[in-house]
Chain A
Amino acid sequence: NAGVIQTPRHKVTGKGQEATLWCEPISGHSAVFWYRQTIVQGLEFLTYFRNQAPIDDSGMPKERFSAQMPNQSHSTLKIQSTQPQDSAVYLCASSLDWGQGAETLYFGSGTRLTVL
């Protein structure tokens, strides 16, 4: 079991450019999450998919951020017109049994996004 795989590990973009981050959840896990980590804000929830369907995007900034899960083996987080304040580590996580009692999240190693 390779764990949650995120690519790239590091991404540098210029202000105004688009950034796409990729996540491959653990095989068989039905729930996929995106979180963002910064020194100031800490760990912030962004969005959650269950069986590929978007369920909770209450943490997503309403503009410029979007997430998709086109199939059970990968999810993407896209940030349009990136701004310096988008610089953060973006973490993907998956869970076998979210809402079923065990609630364990397995995190990927994250993508460090730097917007110049």
Chain B
Amino acid sequence: AQKVTQTQTSISVVEKTTVTMDCVYETRDSSYFLFWYKQTASGEIVFLIRQDSYKKENATVGHYSLNFQKPKSSIGLIITATQIEDSAVYFCAMRRRGNYNQGKLIFGQGTKLSIKP
């Protein structure tokens, strides 16, 4: 069975610094997608970035980047130059690649990020 684990319940950093959030996953699938989503205080869930398991290069979007370590089943999210508005709960998620008929994303429990001025 697939499983996603985020061990950091909450993180607090000072604005403009870099933060890394951890995520490890379990799967028997050879090909899969890994995602990070952000949930703001209003409850809105927004897609941030995705990593394809067959790609060795770490994905980067804006000030978000990933640290994908496939042998360790790890997909860390790195946020550089953090801003107050980055304060949110961050979810790691995964799904099997190529299964068009499966609707499930497996989510981790989330990490609450607080950015202090």
On A, residues with C-beta under 8 Å from B are: 31, 33, 42-43, 45, 47-48, 50, 55-56, 58-59, 89, 91, 93, 98-99, 102-107, 109-110
Contacts and interface: CB of A to CB of B under 8 A. Distances in A.
A59 B104 contact: yes
A98 B110 CA distance: 23
Contacts of B67: none
Residue among A33, A89, A98, A103 facing the most chain B CB atoms (10 A cut-off): A103
Contacts of A55: 101, 103
A107 B42 CA distance: 13
B48 to A, nearest CB: 10
A103 B33 contact: yes
Interface of B: 33, 35, 37, 42-47, 50, 91, 93, 95, 98-105, 107-110
Residue among A47, A56, A102, A106 facing the most chain B CB atoms (10 A cut-off): A56
**Interface SS, B side:** loop
B104 A103 contact: no
A33 B109 contact: no
10 contacts: A33-B103, A42-B107, A42-B108, A42-B110, A45-B104, A89-B43, A103-B33, A103-B35, A105-B37, A109-B43
